[in-house]
Structure 1
């Protein structure tokens, strides 16, 4: 995922993202490269992140 507004969450930034979610909408999207559904949905979510922010 390459859109600037999309953040890959890991142990080191999870708390920061959760705190930020108090003032900014956050969508947690769990995906897999092996899932056809995810391959179809990911570009849509990337476009949405670009439009909203």
Structure 2
């Protein structure tokens, strides 16, 4: 999966995850995520992996 495809899938999650792409890598600024939001972030990646 390309970085742009992953970024698009993350933006389509509920709640949306808004990454940036730097040198073809998907980057998430963890300073903007609270500890309470980490399980939702993890579930977003699990959902994306399950859709492959």
TM-score range, shorter chain: 0.3 to 0.5
User: Which is richer in helix?
Assistant: 2
Task: State the TM-score, normalized to the length of structure 2.
Answer: 0.39
Task: State the TM-score, normalized to the length of structure 1.
Answer: 0.39
> Per chain length, whose mean CA-contact separation is higher, i.e. which structure has more relative contact order (CA < 8 Å, sep 6+)?
1
User: Which is richer in strand?
Assistant: 2
Larger Rg: 1
